[in-house]
Amino acid sequence: MENVSSYPQTVTQDIAQQQNRVLRNTYALLALSVAPTVAGALIGVQLNFSFFAGSPFIAFMLFMGVAFAFMWGIERTKDSGIGVALLLGFTFFMGLMLSRILQVALGFSNGGTLIAMAAGGTGAIFVSLATVASTTKRDFSNLGKFLFAGVILLLVAIVANIFFQIPALSLAISAIAVVIFSAYILYDINRIVQGGEDNYISATLAVYLDIYNVFVSLLQLLMALTGDRD
């Protein structure tokens, strides 16, 4: 007769293997998503791409509409190869949108350095927090509601500043965004490890957006504080 006491241990091992598989696939797809992002950014810079530059509010709303349409499609097809294709298409679109801030950064004499510093800082934040999230036994799921509320307030502040154009508010938005999306990296990676996310396409989308927003916000801070136009 089989030892029934071994069943819980076997189930636990299976769950752990599944979680590790999701995490590995997430990291692999995340690495793959860098290529279309870079391609979109390079094409946008070369073409001097601008998304409704004459109307920042319309540009922001249109961007949000396209982004949410992509995210809706990715979630609807996350269990198939179409989900991967949509995700890579989305990352190309985000790279294209990234080109605008890169064009602004390259207008500084130290623009290349600023971009490299933002990329390096983002990488350091991701590696540090992902390591903590994947090795700790602590469950950070209680952060979810607070972070979501923070993002909503951040979006309201961004829309308000489109009209008011207050430099101090822009700095505050960028600084808060770095904190919120860094915390989201911790939350999203930990959610995979804890078994709260079992689909690597959905997981990749979440972590990609975290990294993207940290990079953009860091670059905005660096341009505002250390940008040199001479």
pLDDT digits (tens, 9 = 90+) for 15-56: 667 788 889 999 999 999 999 999 999 999 999 887 666 678
pLDDT tens digits, 188-198: 999 998 888 88
**Alpha carbon 228 to chain centroid, angstroms:** 27
Residue 5 has pLDDT above 70, yes or no: no
The pLDDT, as a whole number, for residue 50 is 79
